[in-house]
Structures are given as C-alpha cells and as structure tokens.
Amino acid sequence: MLNFGKLLAFFLSAVLLFNDLGCGKQKEEGVTISFLDTEDKNGAWAEVIATFEAMNPGSKVRLIEGPASTDTRESQYATSLLARDSTYDLIYLDVVWVPKFSANGWLVPLDEYFPPALQEEFLPGDIQASTYAGHIWRIPIRSNGGMLYYRKDLLESANLEPPRTFEELVDISQKLQNPPDVWGFVFQGKQYEGLTCVFLEILRGFGGDVLSPDGRCVFDSPESVATLTWMRDAIFQERIVPEAVRTYEENESLVSFLSGKSIFMRNWPYAWKVCNEEGSEIGGKVGIIPMPHVPDQSSSSTSGGWGFGVSQFSRHKDEALKFAFHAARPESLKVFARKQGGAPSRKSLYKDSELVALFPHYPELYEVLIHAQPRPVHPRYAEMSDVLQRHVSAVLTDTETPEGAVREAAGEINEILARSS
Ligand code: GLC
C-alpha cells in the first residue's frame, strides 16, 4: 500500500528543492525580463536595453525577435498567455490588442503606476488606445498613424499640387505613372491587419465607418460600397495600383516606393527615415500629406502604435514595469526615433531640437498623429478585422462584388456583436 505521508513528504521536498534551485539560480544570474517584438533593426532595442542593464546591475532584458506581421506576433503572445505561461514578462502590445488582452485578464492594470499627470506627457491618441474599461493597461512607446507619401520631385516638375481627394490621386497617378515600371499608388493590400488599417482610412475618407460611436454596426452603407468600388477600380479600371499590391505588407510597399516604382505610398511614420537614409535613391524627394478623401469629407489616419503591458503571469512584474518606464523615457524614445524612425509617443519630442533637425517633417507628422482615429475598440476586434480583411481582399481579387462584400461583412460583424452582448 502507498504511504501517503511519505509521498507527501517526498513531494514537498521536491518542491522545496526545485524552488531552492530556482532562487539560487536567480541570485546568481539576476532577473531576466523577456518580451517579443520584430527584428531589432539598427540595434535600437539593444541600446535601450544596454542603458537599462547598466543602470540596474543584475537585471537582464531579453528581446525575442519575432515575425514582422502584427497578426503573427499576436498569436504568439496569445498562445503563451492562454497557457498562463510566464515566457513573456512584458507584452509589447499593438494598440488594437488592448481590449482583448485586458478583458482576458492577461494584463496588470497600471493605474497606480501611470497616473493621469504622467499620462498627460504622451500623445492623447496613444493614451486613449491604452485605456479600456476605465483602466490604463499600456505604456506607449511608438506612436503610429497612416499617411500618404508622395514623390515631391515628380509632382513639382509637372507643376502639380499634391492630391487632396481620391479623384485627384487617380488623375495625378495617371498623368505621371508608366506601368508596369512606375505605378501610381501602393499600399498594404495583403489579407492581414495592415489592410484593415488602410481600408478604414479610405472608408472614413468616403464618410463611412464600421461601428457607430455607441458600438452599432453601420458598415452596410453606400459609403462602404463606394470605398470598395474605388479600391477595386484603382486596380482593374484606372490601373493606378499594381495587382501585386495584394501581396504587400508595409515593407513591400516601401520597397516599391524606394526603388522609384511608385509615386504615392500609404505607410506609417517609420518609412520617412528609410526614404531619406544615406544611399536612398529618393532621399530628399519625398513629401507627406494626410490621406485623400472625397470632396465633402475629411481625411482620416488610422492610429496604430506599440507600447508595454505587464503580463499577469510574469514572475518579475516590478522589474518588468521598471523596464517599460525606462523604454518610455524621452532618451529611449529618441534612440527609437534615430535608429528606427519610430514616431515618439511623447508630445514634447516633436519640438526637440535634435530630433527636429533630423526629421524636419515632425510638425506635419504631429498633425497626422494628433488627428489619427482608432480602429473599432472592442474585445472581439480581431474577429471583426478578420471579416473586413477577407471581404476587402475578395474585392481586390475581383472574386466578390463591393455590394456583396459589404452585405456579407456587415452581417458577420453583426453576428460578432450579438455573440458578445
Ligand atoms: C503598425 C501599427 C499597428 C498596426 C500594424 C498593421 O505596426 O502600429 O497598430 O496594427 O501596423 O500592420
């Protein structure tokens, strides 16, 4: 017969031994904080991590480099957090993950550590996107807003003003392009989160939206049909957008623009630095303007961005939070701006003389960021975005009509809303 007492004693000593080993190891090596982001381009994270480690001897920070697409990184984080796993102490959160991750109980509320007086120092859109259900969950690091990049040199030499409306974008493209060598307009057309961002900018520029301010689905509208019709026609009718756009994420669009193969590009702020870097063929020839709109509407920029949340399952929450605040210091944000071209989340840096000397477009960028609009704020946003991505994508491949896509997508979004009420 099993001796329960003996078994229990064995189990307890094993646990103690295990803990002891764990603690001993930690004392020797100190605490290591881990998080996931994309590849550390130009060593920006490495520099910010090095200053943190120098200021906090014994602490280590480990960046796990993951894939470029936000969707894939979300799945990677979600898989780990669903298993209540402590691999990631910090979650480097895309703005759109905040409602889902906080509603699932994966994040530590930060109200106590990140009070309103401190929040004031950051761009209002970033704070709004970090707040959900009355709590703040995220410390903003990189701000983002979509905008239109254009070849200033080409427009100027043809005596053309930058476009304000979709019609002007088509006209100018047709005047200056020479497909298949040079196309009018490129954007993120692949079926992933980036497509939802661009689609929303065009939709809002047409006066439409997906949800109303009180959370009802308003997608089944003539504006949605007009948006999808414009996007489809830009490929098949007006021929200002290459069919290959359906495979483009941010970097593929940028590669086309950088190599002079397109005149207009929709992208995020980081692209400015790459366009003007030493050795760039288009250095000094690039302008930025807000996205186009129809004559009686105004332009719209989708707000994006990245920031730190602390995992509920981290065993080193204090240290994790300390690093998150370190990464949000003005000095660190300047490293990200200089090395990655990331737009800082702190308002004051848009007037910082060193940064403005490097990035003379900061006044225009600030205007874009300050007016950027969030994607639908909902714990089931990822499902809604998935619906939009599928149907927009089907229109871009001409396998669904704009009318059919709008009807179907609106129906599916209504089902998602019904399931969550
Ligand atoms: C950028 C934005 C992010 C968005 C993603 C889409 O990284 O900051 O919010 O979801 O692009 O590709």
Block residue for tokens 């903003």 = 140
Q: What is the mean pLDDT of the chain?
A: 93
The Cα–Cα gap between 416 and 405 comes to 16
Give the CA count within 13 Å in the CB-facing half-sphere of 66: 19
Structure confidence by residue, pLDDT tens digits, 24-65: 334 435 899 999 999 999 999 999 999 999 999 999 999 999
**Amino acid in position 122:** F
Which residues are CB-neighbours of 111 under 8 A, at least 6 positions away?
135, 136
Q: What angle do CA 286, 288, 294 make, to 5 degrees?
A: 130
Is residue 146 within 6 Å of ligand 1 at its C-beta? no
pLDDT at 192: 97
For the cut 50, the answer to whether the pLDDT of residue 366 exceeds it is: yes
In this structure, which residue's CA is closest to atom 5 in ligand 1?
194
Structure confidence by residue, pLDDT tens digits, 196-214: 999 999 999 999 999 999 9
Distance in Å, CA 143 to ligand 1 centroid:
10
Is residue 307 within 6 Å of ligand 1 at its C-beta? no
Question: Cα Rg for the chain, rounded, in angstroms?
Answer: 24
Residue (of 246, 288, 244) closest to 264 by Cα position: 288
Residue (of 375, 374, 384) closest to 412 by Cα position: 384
**Strand 60-65, strand 90-94: pairing:** unpaired
Is residue 70 within 6 Å of ligand 1 at its C-beta? yes
**Residue 4 banded pLDDT, cuts 50, 70, 90:** very low
For the cut 70, the answer to whether the pLDDT of residue 20 exceeds it is: no
pLDDT at 28: 34
For the cut 70, the answer to whether the pLDDT of residue 13 exceeds it is: no
For the cut 60, the answer to whether the pLDDT of residue 14 exceeds it is: no
Is residue 304 within 6 Å of ligand 1 at its C-beta? yes
pLDDT at 153: 98
* Ligand 1 pocket: which of 74, 100, 197, 368 to mutate (most atoms within 8 A of CB): 197
- Domains along the chain with CATH numbers: 4-144+304-363 (3.40.190.10), 146-302+375-420 (3.40.190.10)
Distances from the Cα of 30 to the Cα of 60, 318, 319, 356, angstroms: 7, 13, 11, 39
Distance in Å, CA 229 to ligand 1 centroid:
25
